Chains A and B, each alone.
Chain A
Amino acid sequence: METPDKKIKAIEKQEYEDLASQIRPKPKLARNMAWAFVVGGLICMSGQWIINYMVSLGVSLTDASTSASCILIFLAALFTGLGYYNELGQHAGAGSIVPITGFANAIVASALEYKREGYIFGVGARIFSVAGPTLVFGFVIAVLVGLIKVFLTS
């Protein structure tokens, strides 16, 4: 039910938002995109370098690819602990979130933050505050796809 009072409030809010949006600076999209592209690209490229090197040593492509991810995860965890990854994220934005290193950073950062609440319910529980939802969606969709395939092939 739209009462006249509510309508006036809504108009007031809209006027206020119009005023605020004139003053509020827009995100620097071009600059952000350039940073995201370069940093994200470099992270992926270093992954490719590891893969190519391992394949040249005779490792299978799947194993090389998995190893590359694990190495990047390890490095991201380390740099988060050292306090550098958040500095990078300040500029790189999605460039340091989208690669698997961003996943590792989110895991370590939330665990680190709750260290002072103890190792079990501080670090141990909070480690999943970002990793949890990500894995949940990954698992659920993977199982659904699998079930569809079972259904289609039977």
Chain B
Amino acid sequence: MVPLYMAFLVGGLLCVIGQIVMDATKPTVTPGHILVGYISAGAILSGLGLYQPLVNIGGAGATVPLSGFGHVLVQGTLKAVEHKGLLGAFSGGVEAAAAGITTAIVFGYVVAVIFNPKG
């Protein structure tokens, strides 16, 4: 089991990188860019086999940041390719990430229906 402090350290450091990128590139990089950048970076690193070691050390510190979401997509794809070949390349990613995506969209919709923007 990954100790809590390691999750804190790794997760915190990943966020600090994002902060440095945002502050250094003001005003071009917006939060939307950060989200897209992290999911892409996580997916690419995962494809190169470089993200799993980070998950082994940091646990949730590496899986909770959005780069971890990219990692899940890619690992799901790679596993599915082993079993199903070409079809797996197209089905594996979303299968692995299904719970996260569905939760985000369903709760997002429900919350938007229940609450009003406060400002």
The answer, yes or no, to whether A38 is at the interface (CB within 8 Å) is yes
Per-residue CB proximity of B12-31 to A under 8 Å, as 1/0?
11111111111100100001
Q: Are B70 and A45 in contact (CB under 8 A)?
A: no
- Complex CA–CA separation, A113 to B69 (angstroms): 25
- Chain B residues, Cβ within 8 Å of A23: none
Q: Is the CB of A123 within 8 A of B15?
A: no
In the complex, how many residue pairs between chain A and chain B have their CB atoms under 8 Å apart? 290
Q: What is the bound-complex CA distance between A55 and B60, given in angstroms? A: 13
Q: Mostly helix, strand, loop or mixed at chain A's interface?
A: helix
Asked whether A149 is an interface residue with its Cβ less than 8 Å from the other chain, the reply is: yes
Cβ contacts under 8 Å, A148 to chain B: 47
Report the minimal beta-carbon distance from B65 to chain A, rounded to whole angstroms: 5
A121 in the interface (beta carbon within 8 A): no
- B100→A69 contact, CB < 8 A: yes
| A55 CA to B11 CA, complexed, in Å | 20
A83-101 CB mask vs B (1 if < 8 Å, else 0) is: 1000000000111011111
Chain A residues contacting B5 (CB-CB under 8 Å) are 45
A124 and B104: CB pair below 8 A?
no
Q: Which of A78, A138, A150 contacts B69 (CB 8 A)?
A: A138
Chain A residues closer than 8 Å to B43, beta-carbon distance:
137-138, 141-142, 145
Q: Which residues of B contact A10 (CB under 8 A)?
A: none
| Contact B68–A146 (Cβ < 8 Å) | no
Shortest beta-carbon distance, A2 to chain B, in Å? 25
Contact with A along B27-47 (1 / 0, CB 8 A): 000011011101110011011
**Can you list 24 contacts pairing A with B, beta carbon distance less than 8 Å?**
A32-B19, A37-B12, A40-B15, A44-B64, A45-B7, A50-B60, A65-B60, A69-B63, A69-B69, A70-B103, A77-B111, A82-B118, A97-B31, A97-B35, A98-B34, A99-B66, A109-B117, A111-B111, A119-B113, A123-B109, A130-B31, A135-B39, A138-B39, A138-B93
Task: Please name the 6 residue pairs, one residue from A and one from B, whose CB atoms are nearest each other, closest first.
Answer: A44-B11, A40-B15, A146-B89, A41-B12, A94-B18, A48-B7
